[in-house]
Amino acid sequence: MLTFHNKNNFGAVLQTYATIRHLQKSNYNVTLIDLIRKPNNWLVSIIYERLVNYNFWRFRDEHFRHCITERIYTDDIDKLRLVSKEFDSFIIGSDQVWRKEFTRKFGYLFFLDFIENKNKISYASSFGLSVWNDDLARTQKIEELLKDFDAISVRESSGINICKDSFNVDALKVVDPTLLIPLEDYVELASKSKIKSQSNYIAKFLLDKYSPEQTTILSELFLRMGKKTKDLSIPRVSVKNVSLEMFPNSIEHWLKSLRDSDYIVTESFHCVIFALIFRKNFICILNDVRGTARIESILNQVDLSHLMIRLNSSVSVSDMEHKLRLNIDYDKVWSILDKEIRFSKNYLKEALIN
């Protein structure tokens, strides 16, 4: 299995956790390929991974250590090929493993170009954006590689169109792997948080810094709601124009804070997923820079597109408040999701039989 398990964000780590857990519950032996780029400065890399981002490192060490390869660097293709000979099937995904901006620096490794004569499966791979805009030569090479896959599935409806229009391959849409495991698994993780339980608050999880005007709009919304806010966002610093995560909460604390909240305000795809899992009232702020296809896909699917908001000068705070307070028919939502989850599990089962 190859994915973004080393990325320091809650969604990347939890989708890895969920994929592994589902496959292990289905009686598969799972191995996660620990593929990363070689750091420029080893000391800085170790400090950043094991001190600054200790909570992510600890979770990965606790939950992935038993099923992960030794570390492989992207410039050691021979070692990657040697390790890969041990396996019958390879799963790429989920998360934005096919987003050009994220994977171009890995060459074609996330299109499994190092694998020959093995069962190649994509599970819920995401292009991140609704269109493909890479150069012709790279597009043609990716088309060649994708045609060697035995089963291709994507996370968004737009991904189906990209596969067909840009690469001439067929793809199916499946759910994000965080939906493959039951609520009880996340409740168990949340229960391990050592942070004291709170109540009567709005959980806020935003990814980017907002303008003063946007911040004022959100402040007015929270004031009108009459509840305190709990900010779950990851602190960031900018180093040489690169935004770096700094001292995030633990994954267990993040899950517990979402579970115990009264409302959720976010712009994160995976935070939306957990709002659905925990059956919370929420609104999602669309962030065009990060891409909205994945959020639009899931909320259109469960008929909650009205909960998407663009935080601009024309937005009405009273409308935002109305949407946040709006009762969600979660029986209807989960009747849709349960059907999609069954389809997705069956897709993965059939793909692994190949």
Q: Which domain holds residue 252?
A: 190-336
**Does residue 250 share a domain with residue 201?**
yes
Say if 228 falls within a structural domain: yes
- For residues 211 and 348, membership in a common domain is answered with no
Say if 15 falls within a structural domain: yes
Q: Look at residue 80 and tell me if it is in a domain.
A: yes
User: What average pLDDT is seen over the chain?
Assistant: 93
Is 241 a residue whose pLDDT tops 70? no
Same domain? 319 vs 246: yes
Q: What is the pLDDT of residue 318?
A: 96
Residue 1 included in any domain: no
Q: Are 69 and 93 part of one and the same domain?
A: yes
CATH code of the domain covering residue 295? 3.40.50.880
| One domain, residues 231 and 249 | yes
51 with 101, same domain?
yes
Residue 242 scores a pLDDT above 60: no
Same domain, 206 and 80: no
Burial of 161 (0-12, 13-18, 19+ CB in 10 A): middle
Q: Residue 125: helix, strand or coil by DSSP? A: strand
DSSP 216-279: HHHHHHHHHHT-EEEE-PPPEEEETTEEEE-SPPPHHHHHHHHHH-SEEEE--HHHHHHHHHTT
Predicted confidence (pLDDT) per residue in 56-98, tens digit: 999 999 999 999 999 999 989 999 999 999 999 999 989 999 9
Does a structural domain hold residue 36? yes
Predicted local confidence at residue 110, as pLDDT: 96
Residue 26 maps to which CATH number? 3.40.50
Tell me what pLDDT residue 256 has.
Answer: 97
Residues 142 and 237 in one domain: no
Is the pLDDT assigned to residue 111 strictly greater than 80? yes
133 in the same domain as 164: yes
- Pair (157, 264) in one structural domain: no
The tally of domains found in the chain comes to 2
Tokens representing 150 are 């035995």
Does residue 239 have a pLDDT over 80? no
299 and 199 belong to one structural domain: yes
Tokens 């009459």 found at? 226
Place of tokens 């499946």: 174
**Which residues are CB-contacts of 81 (< 8 A; sequence separation ≥ 6)?**
114
pLDDT at 235: 72
- Is position 265 within any domain? yes
Closest alpha carbon to 283 in 297, 295, 294, 301 = 295
Which one, of 165, 156, 257, 138, lies nearest residue 205 by Cα?
Answer: 257
pLDDT in tens, 304-351: 999 999 998 889 999 999 999 999 999 999 999 999 999 999 999 999
Same domain, 232 and 173: no
Residues 6+ apart with CB under 8 A from 29: none
Domain-located, residue 71 = yes
Say if 301 falls within a structural domain. Answer: yes
Q: Looking at residue 240, what is its pLDDT? A: 59
**Rounded to an integer, what distance in angstroms lies between the CA atom of residue 328 and that of residue 239?**
41
DSSP assigned state of 200: S
